Amino acid sequence: MAQISAIRGMNDIHGQQAIAFDFVTETAQAVLQQYGFQSIRLPIVEKTELFCRSIGEVTDIVEKEMYTFNDRNNDSLTLRPEGTAGCVRAVIENGLAHNQIQKLFYMGPMFRYERPQKGRYRQFNQFGVEVFGLASVDADAELIALSARLWEKLGLENLELQINSLGSQESRAAYRDILVAYFEAHRAELDEDSLRRLTTNPLRILDTKNPDLKTLVANAPKLLEHLDAESIEHFEHLKNHLEDLGIDYVVNPNLVRGLDYYNRTVFEWVTTELGAQGTVCAGGRYDGLVEQIGGKPTPAVGFAMGIERLMALLIDQGVVPETSAQDIYMVLVGEQVQRPGMVLAESLRDAFPELRIQMNCGGGSFKSQFKKADKSGASFALVLGDDEVTQQTIVVKPLRTDQAQKVVAWDALVETLAQEFSEI
Ligand code: ATP
Ligand code: MG
């Protein structure tokens, strides 16, 4: 029968990739907890209208990337393309943003109908962080500080922080006219997408991926030069915080981000090591969004990391082992070994919750079991044969050093292993 394959752009994550995935998400969770953030878990499907209203009708995501379908009740639903919209919806619906500060994180799959390539998939995972109720720049700076700490914890190098300010709605509206005049004067050089955007959402032309427009965009008037006074001050304070914290940054005046809801601070962490898919983390302030979705006016700032892109970087930079090594492999050969072997394995798991203990299941010769023990990466094999069972002993055999093996009584095993592991 024909084999059934996965859907294009939707990948199974296994082996070394899975190790990298867990490493990223567990490390991120630990860092977020260190900063006093709380976990929130959100639905994968939302009403389509939520994304149209928040991300913006004239964005790549809403125009052509969403997985939208009618359910059996004929309601239009969408697989979430990003996490912020759902998080804002949840915060409003559960009354979490009213007169209080919320610092939240979440993770999970997102869906976008894009052309699959390295670092760009149709189902991918994001780790998202959102802060509600703080208009002050300390919140923006703390988010950047915690992301910098995460790269350090992951052992990632060569990430560049790019920042920009989008100003207020009003200063952006004034800039929009200036930008339109500039692009109108260069109409002939624009591509089809940009021509359309010129009337619908001209700022988005700055975010074009078309290399032919690079020079035109680089020479465009800069939003940074048309900001309102308060946004300029906010941006200056952000830079001061980053300098105090020793976090290097580059001001990228063309950083406008792919979603419409941002104002003031926007930032991205970028690497040159993943080709065109170089942004591993992106975010910014979105003070108007909560109100736009029907909540009370609530300032907010957040970011999202692409877990697959971080995984690829970690693997390329050699940070992730190919398999997760075991600490102990139990070799069991004989008629009488299964029952005491299982009991011993469980008692060791009680005594050493931090050790990875693999018990050989399914039998096999000494030779084949030792082969598996060696492949597992374990530091020690514990060997149980019928003679050992009769004498209530077990053999502790170092697999990675030339030290001699020891015969140890069952009731001295925990103590012996504690000693052995304290020496490696
Ligand atoms: P890009 O410019 O690469 O399309 P974006 O601006 O659309 O990114 P965001 O919506 O800001 O991306 O999402 C935050 C992060 O999620 C990105 O920086 C990236 O790391 C990751 N990401 C976005 N789209 C994908 C995708 N299709 N596959 C894998 N990761 C993705
Ligand atoms: Mg995109």
Task: Answer whether 124 contacts ligand 1 (Cβ < 6 A).
Answer: yes
Q: Do 384 and 243 share a structural domain?
A: no
Residue that finishes a domain, picked among 317, 345, 367: 317
Position in ligand 1 atom list of the atom nearest CA 120: 28
Position in ligand 1 atom list of the atom nearest CA 281: 18
Q: Do 334 and 287 share a structural domain?
A: no
Q: Which ligand is nearest to the CA of 122?
A: 1
Q: Which ligand is nearest to the CA of 112?
A: 1
The residue written with tokens 């048309």 in the block is 226
Q: Do 231 and 148 share a structural domain?
A: yes
Q: Please, are residues 130 and 87 in contact by the beta-carbon 8 Å criterion?
A: yes
Task: Answer whether 53 contacts ligand 1 (Cβ < 6 A).
Answer: no
Task: Answer whether 260 contacts ligand 1 (Cβ < 6 A).
Answer: no
Q: Do 90 and 158 share a structural domain?
A: yes
Task: State the distance from the centre of ligand 1 to the C-alpha of 220, rounded, in angstroms.
Answer: 25
Q: How many CA atoms lie within 13 A of 118 on its CB side?
A: 11
Task: Answer whether 306 contacts ligand 1 (Cβ < 6 A).
Answer: yes
Tell me the CATH number at 94. 3.30.930.10
Question: Is 192 a member of any domain?
Answer: no
Question: Is 29 a member of any domain?
Answer: yes
Q: Do 405 and 383 share a structural domain?
A: yes
Question: Is 196 a member of any domain?
Answer: no
Task: Answer whether 51 contacts ligand 1 (Cβ < 6 A).
Answer: no
pLDDT at 201: 86
Task: Answer whether 338 contacts ligand 1 (Cβ < 6 A).
Answer: no
Q: Please, are residues 107 and 304 in contact by the beta-carbon 8 Å criterion?
A: no
Q: Which ligand is nearest to the CA of 284?
A: 1
Q: Do 265 and 156 share a structural domain?
A: yes
pLDDT at 259: 65
Convert the pLDDT of each residue in 88-138 to its tens digit: 999 999 999 888 999 999 999 999 999 999 999 999 999 999 999 999 999
Position in ligand 1 atom list of the atom nearest CA 276: 3
Question: Is 399 a member of any domain?
Answer: yes
pLDDT at 155: 94
Residue whose CA is at the smallest distance from ligand 1 atom 24: 120
Q: 333: Cβ–Cβ under 8 A, 6 or more apart, which residues? A: 363, 364, 365, 366, 369, 383, 384, 385
Convert the pLDDT of each residue in 138-150 to its tens digit: 999 999 999 999 9
Position in ligand 1 atom list of the atom nearest CA 114: 27
Q: Do 98 and 134 share a structural domain?
A: yes
Q: Do 102 and 81 share a structural domain?
A: yes
Q: Do 349 and 249 share a structural domain?
A: no
Task: State the distance from the centre of ligand 2 to the C-alpha of 257, rounded, in angstroms.
Answer: 9
Residue that finishes a domain, picked among 274, 298, 317: 317
Task: State the distance from the centre of ligand 1 to the C-alpha of 388, rounded, in angstroms.
Answer: 58
Question: Is 209 a member of any domain?
Answer: no
pLDDT at 97: 87
Question: Is 221 a member of any domain?
Answer: no
Mean pLDDT by 10 residues, the chain (424 residues): 95 96 97 98 98 88 95 98 97 93 98 95 98 98 98 94 93 91 94 90 87 92 92 97 98 81 93 87 95 95 98 93 88 96 97 96 96 95 97 97 95 96 86
Task: State the distance from the centre of ligand 2 to the C-alpha of 113, rounded, in angstroms.
Answer: 10
Q: Please, are residues 304 and 282 in contact by the beta-carbon 8 Å criterion?
A: yes
Task: Answer whether 121 contacts ligand 1 (Cβ < 6 A).
Answer: yes
Task: Answer whether 80 contacts ligand 1 (Cβ < 6 A).
Answer: no
Position in ligand 1 atom list of the atom nearest CA 303: 14
Helix (H) or strand (E) holding 325, with range, is: none
Question: Is 201 a member of any domain?
Answer: no
Residue whose CA is at the smallest distance from ligand 1 atom 16: 306
Position in ligand 1 atom list of the atom nearest CA 278: 3
Cα–Cα distance list, 53 to 256, 289, 309, 329, 385 (Å): 18, 9, 28, 55, 68
Q: Do 122 and 24 share a structural domain?
A: yes
Q: Please, are residues 14 and 128 in contact by the beta-carbon 8 Å criterion?
A: no
Task: Answer whether 126 contacts ligand 1 (Cβ < 6 A).
Answer: yes
Residue whose CA is at the smallest distance from ligand 1 atom 29: 120
Q: Do 369 and 297 share a structural domain?
A: no
Question: Is 1 a member of any domain?
Answer: no
**CA separation for the pair 235, 230 (Å, rounded):** 9
Residue that finishes a domain, picked among 317, 347, 378: 317
User: How many structural domains is the chain composed of?
Assistant: 2
Range of the domain at 337: 328-422
**CA separation for the pair 240, 166 (Å, rounded):** 18
Task: Answer whether 330 contacts ligand 1 (Cβ < 6 A).
Answer: no
Tell me the CATH number at 333. 3.40.50.800
Q: Do 56 and 141 share a structural domain?
A: yes
Task: State the distance from the centre of ligand 1 to the C-alpha of 47, rounded, in angstroms.
Answer: 21
